[in-house]
Amino acid sequence: MITAMFKIARRSFGLSWAVAIMTVGAWIWTHSGSSWSNVAADSLSRYFGGWTDHGCERNKDVCLTAKLSELDALHAELARAVNGLSERKGQIARDLANRERDLTGNAALIEEGRLLYGRSAEFWGTVRLSGREYTPETLRRRLEVLYQEGLSLQASFKQAKAADEAVDRKLHDLLIKKANIRATRDLLPSQIELLRANMIIGDVDATLRDVTKLYDDVKRTVSDLKDVGGWMARTNELVKRQVDAERRAQPQDFDNRLNGARGAPATPVRQAPQ
């Protein structure tokens, strides 16, 4: 019985001390100028979500140092995006050259066939085109096929050219952003040292805002290009719709192309023997 009473007393004494310690701790936490709470909050914000405005306000030099590290990482990401897009640029340039060659060959063949068609229609004789003999009617059908192929080749060439131009614009934008990040990275170390030496370096808050804005802007661009293949697919689809719309809007008159400046008849007319 006496032993049980001692145990109860010891427990009550321990609980009393625990309550007292918690009370004193809460008072210190509340009345210590919020320094400990601010430090804890700043540490948590840095660990979980980057620097908050409040954290940067209290630790501007450390915040600038953290932002310098973020810019270093972003500069590396941007360099990878530029390299990936440059590789695609090379592929597109080769594809564009091939399509231009095919389109030029098709146009030259049609022009040669158009001239031969005028001659064959006038004398109702056969002509040779690309190593094959054609009557006026068979030549006309062959030229119509070439004409339709030419329309497809022209659309394909326009699509590749537009994609090439889109990549050029994006690369130009990335290189400008890369230069801006590099310039900011080069300036920040000296600003950090001056700030640590308690020397006036201008509006530090404005610097932080500018750095954050630059980082956010470039980060969005880099995020869009993490999947270069997906970005190219979306660009190609947009370009294709534009080219298809232009093609539908343009008149397609095979007879006018066939007759050309020579004014050959749309339908060959057999000439009576002289």
Residue 128 has φ and ψ, to the nearest 5°, of: -110, 125
pLDDT bin (cut points 50, 70, 90) of residue 148 is very high
- Contacts for 163 with CB less than 8 Å, ≥ 6 apart: 92, 232, 235, 236, 239
- Model confidence at 267: pLDDT above 50: no
pLDDT digits (tens, 9 = 90+) for 182-219: 999 898 888 888 777 776 556 777 888 888 899 999 99
- Please give the CATH architecture assigned to the domain spanning 53-262: Up-down Bundle (1.20)
pLDDT bin (cut points 50, 70, 90) of residue 55 is low
Average pLDDT over residues 256-272: 47
- Mean pLDDT value across the chain: 75
pLDDT bin (cut points 50, 70, 90) of residue 111 is very high
Give yes or no for a contact between 181 and 218, defined as CB atoms under 8 angstroms apart: yes
- Model confidence at 141: pLDDT above 80: yes
Q: What percent of the chain has pLDDT over 70?
A: 72
Report the run of H or E that residue 133 belongs to, with start and end.
strand 132-134
Give the pLDDT score at 226.
79
Nearest-angstrom CA–CA distance, 110 and 125: 19
Which of 21-25, 57-61, 91-95 has the least mean pLDDT? 21-25
Sorted by where each begins, the domain ranges of the chain are 53-262
Q: Reduced to 3 DSSP states, what percent helix, strand and coil does the chain have, rounded to the nearest 5?
A: 85, 0, 15
pLDDT digits (tens, 9 = 90+) for 6-27: 443 444 444 444 334 344 344 3
